[in-house]
Chains A and B, each alone.
Chain A
Amino acid sequence: MSTPQFWSTPLRYLRWASHERPAIFYSLIIGSMGPVALVGLPPLRRALGDVDPETIPMSYPIPAGPRTFPKGYDDE
């Protein structure tokens, strides 16, 4: 039995690869689950009742409302 080709017999090739090249085959599966997790996990997490944590402040909060910037003190 010759080695199946991917393009002519994809399913048979996958079956052969999962038996003969398991490390690479399952690595591809696990790695391709990454983008799926990236898209699928946030809705799942929110559906299970998780709320996104509030952001950590890195500086003083900027007050909402009109602000007046002093003029004439900068190097013109």
Chain B
Amino acid sequence: MKNEKIYVRLFLFAIVLAIVLIILFNIAKPVRYVLAVISFFIVFILSFVFIYKLISAQDTVLRDSKKSYDKYISFVIPVYNEGDDLRLCLDSIENIEYPKDKYEIIVVDDGSNNPITAQILEEYSKKYSNIKIIRKDNGGAASARNLGIINSNGEIIITIDSDSIIDKDAPAKLVSYFDDPQVAAVTGSVRVLNPDRPLTKWQSIEYDIILVYRRILEVFDSIYVTPGGLSAFRKEAIMKVGLFDTNSLTEDQEIALKLQKAGYKIMATLDAFAYTRVPDSLNKLVKQRVRWIRGGIWNRLKHRDLLNPKWGNLFIFGYVTDLIFFIPFITFFLTIFLFIIDNYIWFFRLGPEVMFLSIDHFLISTLVFWIILLPWQIFMINVLREKANEQKVKIKEIFDFIGFMIIFGWAWFLVWAFVIYKELTVQGNRWETR
């Protein structure tokens, strides 16, 4: 771990050094232009790879899940200082369409010091006979999940966050995929429970889009995250690869990489829904995303043997893409930001005419792609809404999409700044937990 920590710090230090050198040698303009063109190609080639795959394999990507009720399920829910959301979560599981004698619920209290949590758990364990409570000292979600899995009786483990609500038919849909003995995990379709303000609406768009992307990744046999919000695992497989990594910041990604490396299949659903509460303030959101990015970097360092073309599509999508995608994302918006700054000075000399004059080939190409990507994103959301029996995207929602594409994209600046700060300042060599 010590070496990996040094690599991460060296990598981030190199980024900071590069920025300083660019400023010092006054080469921001050419560097910005080169980065912009590279970023442009990376972002749009990847986007079109997904668009092309969806078109060429649409029957597979858009298929409905079957339902199966023959396997015994253990729901494993790690809990830490949870309140009323836990009630909603447990009630939703108790109301699923699945034979009562074919599932159990294991709630692992990860050292909660909130009396309400204990009270709810006691109440529910008395109310429902299939709820098992395990208490342990605080050690993070991964350790709680592991303890739950070890103490479970199910052939299939469904992990769900304590602030999520599961749809009635989701478990049967998830279980159906395990008829194939090669399948070790199935990702659920986690959507946003609280899309009531711009920040959560943008996350809702993002979550829905990710679900379609993940289904396309399934066609590429390259799913590299089994979200903690809702995923199902074959117990035998998860035990074989050594359970969740308690040191990882994003253990739900780390387990997927392990399963892929062990030769198992990971499938994705588009219609096995769970609804989860997402951060409703910028502060919470940045904190969450910093953890995701840092976790992603560390997982890739741990599984750096995946950086080899012998892993096929997994090498591209599970490793290269995920790492390089953040770079164009930042430079892309940085370029637009610097473009505005450049032209803002001219605005005072030329007035509004500068808007017309500043249209160059790069801006036109970018605009064309945004125009293509907007309906593509709306299409993906509509796919999800159709599966969830919801109304299609309305005209007034277009502003949410534009906000998502422009404002939400900018947030990555902030997130990466925090990532760099965190990695450079965290003391010691321990893996940081939540």
Q: Do A and B bind each other?
A: no
Residue positions of B touching A, CB distance < 8 A: none
